[in-house]
Structure 1
């Protein structure tokens, strides 16, 4: 049976509540033609499958997927711009791309059917977090080549919400429209949501007393500590979502209102966790690197895409009744991990210490540099009040000791005045690596 809310709205479509044996059978049914489609139409897959000694006919069970090779982000750059498309270019009616700040951008494409699927998954994602038809959704994700803005836009429209397509920036105006239009839902990156809260407080606007009730956040890792800070300052329930442009964009997984892990939409994606060193599949519940295979995407099928995100999966029942496995909060990325004097550190671990620390603002930037032959970490953050230099130095010393005690890494802490660090209107740039300069 499909669960319904008090207003009769369908909370979870039947696909979200399938018994797991039936769900796995559906995945196998969709995976077989997906592999055949990729092998027949994409030179990269044909070569990589042949080199691994497998063909689509070798997939008889879901477990057989482990025999197939991975695909990684550099493969998209090596086949720039359209070399991984599995349909004629004229059938690709939308193109998105990464910023390309570290080289050629990664280009992704969508057929008309892909866009329809994406809008449906985004509507499902929003509904899972508690968004309902008729809600005013203030969309502060960036529009353009980034998938966030349009992904949330069309999903909210599919759910029959009223969408305010604000994009990022012009924060004072954003706050005015949130209040004037009676937005119930804020869609943004968590770092920008925190920026909105900060500016609203400076303006004397009580967003916690407004109509806002739900935050639908994603596009960057964030800690439970930051979630609690956003909840408190905006008066909302901040929900996590997960997605990658290479896989679909936002809408790959989402928390439900219970906020105990992100439900991965398994009727469209197959999730694995592998050991990041050996690349061997790991059992359910063990932490490793998330690998995703698309099951229904036509323009750009992804077979065993290495996301570099570190997490674990669970198939334990959820109180919401959804049966899709859950992705525990992403703790970091393989390529974000810092090794400081032998200690492995993720930016999210530093964030968890900073946010909520007495006298410290939840704004920070990490800089990696080289001192002799050793890597050195500098943490820049802000004091909550414009304290004098001696007070800020004392606060920095306390924070440095706290980071050492909790994480085990020695670092330099610089305590800035309020407002000195740059604010993000999109994905926050938390780490600056200047070791090779």
Structure 2
């Protein structure tokens, strides 16, 4: 057991080498690394993954027909509901579950998905965080031993990843980070008190939550331990909050572009123009609603290919985000392409009868994890009422489900709430084809969050 932990520790160390300066390497060096990963993942998918075996043979393709990542467009576009309804079609038959870490996406586009990661992918991804932290650790004054606070919707899953890494690999005591995780649905005054007690050097959360946290601190006039740097993922940091952090509070802030389906997709540099894409790991392209290439410089749906993970192979996968590739190179000198910040939503919060705000993940967590449903969408009609559309996994009574949801949400959000439930075969889509998990018809004040 110790030998294997030492093996994976050495594996991480070997992949960590050079990550901090990777983005400054010549483009042809990065392109060669991309092609090596492309060939390996295509060969593996062709031999061991049912979806790609069928898709390539049906089109008369072999791995040798893919000369660059642009050729991945010859594969069928994968939609989220395909992976959700039949995940085993994308699983490698060569990698048993016992050798995998299984994670579940947040379902922020309406459908949670189970993703398996093989051991090399987990530890390569751990090493690739060196790119994300290249701008951050100099601000903290050290690479290891600093305090990091993570405010996330799913503390259990975050802890699962950290525990998995420490179970399978040995980390020297002096090369660790002191981390604490906090729930995104905890009362803000409790979270502020906990942060003041822990005094983190680095704070990580959702962009929308960081905005609300700062609004609460300023409105309450409460003392707040300012971290040396802030990082965020999952959704967008509002522009006024970004300006407040950078210009008034002088707290550096950086976006990390991540997803369970593709870790370490990109990171913001200290010039703050956009996100530098790790296209040697997870190349992406932009398409319109019909899957055609988006015009250059215009926003499109993000389609990503994961060249790292062999346990659940996702190539040409529509992620659910929209963004644009920026044509001008960044003045920071990095060779990696630049993506605009993926836009967030203005309705990430529900307005409670008290006027307090609740992050949408609090509501969605109850819908997906407390009921036998494949997917769900909540629409806040008034501060005290939610209409829910649910796609059930099994026969169920919508009235009984509504009563259970109302009881649990009322308890969790400390408010008297009512819920109506409609069962459906699929979720309603926006004119752009999206399935948002939460919509609000209630005017949102700037106050505090649950």
TM range (shorter): 0.5 to 0.7
SS in 2 for 1:138: strand
Q: Is the 8 A contact 1:292 1:305 kept in 2?
A: yes
1:301 counterpart residue number: 313
Q: Distance in 2 between matches of 1:13 and 1:416?
A: 41
Partner of residue 311 from structure 1, selected from 323, 330, 342: 323
1:387 counterpart residue number: none
RMSD (CA atoms): 3.9
Q: Does 1:84 align with 2:95?
A: no
2:280 counterpart residue number: 267
Q: Is the 8 A contact 1:315 1:324 kept in 2?
A: no
Going from structure 1 to structure 2, the CA distance change for 1:68 and 1:215 (only over 3 Å counts) comes to same
SS in 2 for 1:216: strand
SS in 2 for 1:77: helix
2:180 counterpart residue number: 164
Q: Is the 8 A contact 1:147 1:245 kept in 2?
A: no
Q: Is the 8 A contact 2:101 2:164 kept in 1?
A: no
1:69 counterpart residue number: 76
SS in 1 for 2:305: strand
5+ long unaligned stretches in structure 2: 1-16, 349-354, 361-378, 384-439
Going from structure 1 to structure 2, the CA distance change for 1:266 and 1:274 (only over 3 Å counts) comes to same
Tell me how far 1:73 sits from its aligned partner.
0.8
Going from structure 1 to structure 2, the CA distance change for 1:100 and 1:287 (only over 3 Å counts) comes to closer
Partner of residue 258 from structure 1, selected from 271, 276, 280: 271
Q: Distance in 1 between matches of 2:320 and 2:98?
A: 30
2:393 counterpart residue number: none
1:45 counterpart residue number: 52
Q: Is the 8 A contact 1:364 1:379 kept in 2?
A: no
Tell me how far 1:292 sits from its aligned partner.
1.1
Q: Distance in 2 between matches of 1:148 and 1:315?
A: 38
Partner of residue 240 from structure 1, selected from 238, 246, 255: 255
Alignment of 1:324-335 (within 5 A): 324-331=336-343
Aligned residues: 342
Q: Does 1:214 align with 2:229?
A: yes
Q: Distance in 2 between matches of 1:364 and 1:165?
A: 17
Q: Is the 8 A contact 2:321 2:342 kept in 1?
A: yes
Q: Distance in 2 between matches of 1:38 and 1:150?
A: 25
Q: Does 1:320 align with 2:328?
A: no
Going from structure 1 to structure 2, the CA distance change for 1:104 and 1:11 (only over 3 Å counts) comes to closer
SS in 1 for 2:283: strand
Tell me how far 1:153 sits from its aligned partner.
11
Q: Is the 8 A contact 1:118 1:151 kept in 2?
A: no
Q: Is the 8 A contact 2:151 2:205 kept in 1?
A: yes
2:148 counterpart residue number: 137
Q: Distance in 2 between matches of 1:211 and 1:102?
A: 32
Q: Residue deviations 1:291-334, cap 9 Å, x none?
A: 111122221221111123221123643343321111111135xx
Q: Distance in 1 between matches of 2:41 and 2:25?
A: 21
Q: Whose relative contact order is higher, 1 or 2, with alpha carbons under 8 Å and at least 6 apart?
A: 2
Q: Distance in 2 between matches of 1:52 and 1:281?
A: 20
User: Structure 2 length as normaliser, TM-score?
Assistant: 0.64
Q: Does 1:19 align with 2:31?
A: no
User: Structure 1 length as normaliser, TM-score?
Assistant: 0.66
Q: Residue deviations 1:99-142, cap 9 Å, x none?
A: 56988731011222111112122242133345542432111123
5+ long unaligned stretches in structure 1: 1-9, 333-346, 352-359, 366-376, 382-411, 425-437
Q: Distance in 2 between matches of 1:120 and 1:47?
A: 33
Tell me how far 1:177 sits from its aligned partner.
3.4
